């Protein structure tokens, strides 16, 4: 709810001149305020100068400047205002605004003067009698700390307007808009825009200041910039104009856009650098960004195409998981619960390179089984525990394969299905036949994982690979 009571906010003001037409007063802010003028501005915590400007038409004109008086934030048309008694303290009078918005400057009285300035467009809902208002002023010497950063709809809209200015090469106008609205740079997007704009303008002072804001407001982008050695880029700015085409700034902007293809801010910055700072053609960079996006999309599609469903992952035996781990196809994630046991989860992500590596491993294992029949027969006869486990796993996999629609394996490999009562030579012969069949194109991992029930064939391949390891000992 809007509150219309006028407040006097005292901010450690220090006079810099006498109380005349050229009066200049310095004042410090601990919290943001708004000043209605041309253009309207939102000033953040800091020190500023307010002064009256001589007008040939006799109008009351007031300006708000930076501490060094080298930048005009706004120029305001005012009307005369009076107060009952002169006050030696430098007093700025503010109007409270709707909740969530900074107070607005309403009156300025030069030190020791009863005559002052009322800002014409102060955002108050009504104008109470001046005497009553000034009579009820309350002092606020302990102004609250700087307001916490936030990003409302108006701020984000302002950032988009700044990006449009940058895209059109109007860097000065974009910088002015950022300077004149404190909250534009108090959110991750605004801080990043401010920093990249400083790079485009080759302004090392602004770059250092805005990089601090990025580090404070946007840790994710800050880490990404740090990986690209952003501090070396900022340090190189004083000499960057000597050769912009080979400068660190250009390399940084391009790499940052390449790493953040969906970031409109990064893309706008690099294209503006090519088009306006270098005054060249941005088309090659646009093509490179689009091509890189297409490559990443294609790679992501391939990754998703070969990702196994959770139900299939659960049915993979330990031998297959060992094979997948060898080619880097297992991605692990750990979750820890306070007071409970943690859990380890993983997913299988395959691409063409990993599948080709699996094909090579499985093919080598199958050849080894055929070459080491005598060793396998000895291990089977000895009832070697590890070999026994894999033979039992093969029997289970064959039975499950028999149940699949169109399966022709029900009458095959009888000695593996009843290996305890079969001669070791017969069991090894069936293993050799199964290994030879597993080398066919229809049994390769690169083909198996295309099917919904490929886990069965992969379990067979995994068990054969483990038997080949034992045969090689």
User: Can you tell me the distance from the alpha carbon of 296 to that of 298, in angstroms, rounded to the nearest whole number?
Assistant: 5
User: Can you tell me the distance from the alpha carbon of 136 to that of 63, in angstroms, rounded to the nearest whole number?
Assistant: 27
Higher pLDDT, 193 or 438: 193
Helices (H), 60-170: 130-135, 153-167
Would you tell me how many other CB atoms lie within 10 Å of the CB of residue 409?
A: 16
The two tokens of residue 396 are: 């289970």
Q: What is the DSSP string of 372-395?
A: THHHHHHHHHTT-HHHHHHHHHHH
Residue 423: the pLDDT is 94
The backbone region for 43, taken as left when phi is positive above 0, alpha when psi lies in -120 to 50, beta otherwise, is beta
HSE (side-chain half, CA atoms, 13 Å) at 119: 26
Residue 150: the pLDDT is 46
Residue 339: the pLDDT is 52
Higher pLDDT, 381 or 124: 381
| Beta carbons of 272 and 286 less than 8 angstroms apart | no
pTM over 0.85: no
Residue 317: the pLDDT is 87
| Beta carbons of 434 and 413 less than 8 angstroms apart | yes
53-85: pLDDT as tens digits: 887 777 888 999 999 999 999 998 889 998 888
Angle at 341 between CA 338 and CA 346, to 5 degrees: 110
Nearest alpha-carbon partner for 166 in 44, 35, 282:
282
Give yes or no for residue 385 having a pLDDT over 80: yes
User: Can you tell me the distance from the alpha carbon of 208 to that of 199, in angstroms, rounded to the nearest whole number?
Assistant: 10
Angle at 380 between CA 378 and CA 385, to 5 degrees: 115
Residue 89: the pLDDT is 67
Residue 451: the pLDDT is 60
Higher pLDDT, 39 or 466: 466
- Contacts of range 438-441, beta carbons closer than 8 Å, 24 or more positions apart: 438/362, 438/366, 438/464, 439/363, 439/366
- Average the pLDDT over 249-261 and give the result: 95
| Beta carbons of 77 and 63 less than 8 angstroms apart | no
Give yes or no for residue 196 having a pLDDT over 90: yes
389-405: pLDDT as tens digits: 999 999 999 898 888 77
Beta-bridged to residue 347, according to DSSP, are 331
């Amino acid at each position: 709810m809007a509150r219309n009571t006028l407040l006097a906010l005292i901010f450690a003001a220090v006079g810099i001149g006498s109380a005349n037409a050229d009066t200049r007063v310095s004042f410090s802010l601990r919290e943001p305020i708004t000043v209605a003028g041309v253009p309207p501005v939102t000033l953040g915590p800091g020190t500023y100068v307010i002064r009256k400007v001589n007008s040939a038409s006799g109008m009351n004109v007031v300006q708000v400047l930076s501490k060094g008086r080298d930048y005009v934030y706004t120029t305001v048309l005012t009307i005369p205002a009076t107060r009952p008694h002169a006050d030696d303290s430098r007093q700025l009078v503010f109007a409270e605004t709707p909740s969530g918005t900074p107070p607005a400057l309403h009156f300025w009285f030069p030190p020791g003067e009863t005559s002052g300035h009322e800002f014409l467009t102060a955002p108050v809902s009504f104008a109470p009698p001046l005497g009553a208002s000034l009579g009820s002023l309350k002092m606020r010497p302990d102004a609250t700390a700087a307001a916490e950063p936030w990003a409302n709809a108006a701020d984000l809209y302002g950032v988009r307007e700044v990006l449009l200015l940058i895209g059109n090469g109007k860097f000065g106008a974009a910088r002015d808009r950022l300077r004149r609205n404190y909250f534009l740079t108090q959110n991750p997007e605004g801080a990043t825009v401010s920093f990249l704009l400083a790079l485009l303008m080759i302004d090392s002072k602004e770059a250092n200041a805005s990089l601090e804001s990025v580090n404070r407001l946007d840790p994710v982008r800050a880490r990404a910039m740090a990986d690209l050695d952003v501090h070396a880029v900022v340090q190189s700015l004083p000499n960057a104009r000597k050769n912009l085409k080979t400068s660190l700034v250009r390399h940084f902007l391009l790499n940052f856009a390449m790493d953040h293809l969906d970031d409109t801010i990064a893309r706008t910055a690099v294209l503006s650098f090519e088009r306006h700072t270098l005054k060249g053609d941005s088309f090659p960079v646009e093509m490179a960004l689009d091509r890189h996006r297409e490559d990443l999309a294609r790679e992501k599609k391939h990754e998703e195409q070969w990702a196994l469903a959770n139900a299939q992952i659960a049915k993979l035996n330990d031998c297959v998981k060992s094979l997948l781990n060898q080619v880097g196809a297992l991605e692990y994630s750990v979750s820890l619960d306070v007071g409970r046991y943690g859990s380890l989860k993983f997913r299988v992500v395959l691409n063409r390179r990993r599948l080709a590596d699996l094909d090579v491993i499985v093919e080598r294992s199958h050849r080894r089984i055929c070459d080491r029949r005598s060793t396998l027969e000895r291990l089977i006869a000895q009832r070697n525990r590890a070999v026994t486990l894999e033979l039992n796993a093969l029997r289970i996999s064959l039975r499950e394969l028999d149940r699949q629609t169109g399966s022709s394996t029900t009458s095959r490999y009888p000695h593996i299905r009843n290996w305890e009562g079969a001669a070791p030579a017969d069991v090894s012969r069936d293993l050799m036949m199964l290994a030879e069949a597993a080398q066919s194109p229809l049994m390769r991992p690169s083909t198996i994982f295309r099917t919904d029930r490929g886990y069965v064939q992969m379990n067979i391949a995994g068990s054969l690979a483990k038997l080949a390891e034992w045969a090689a000992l």
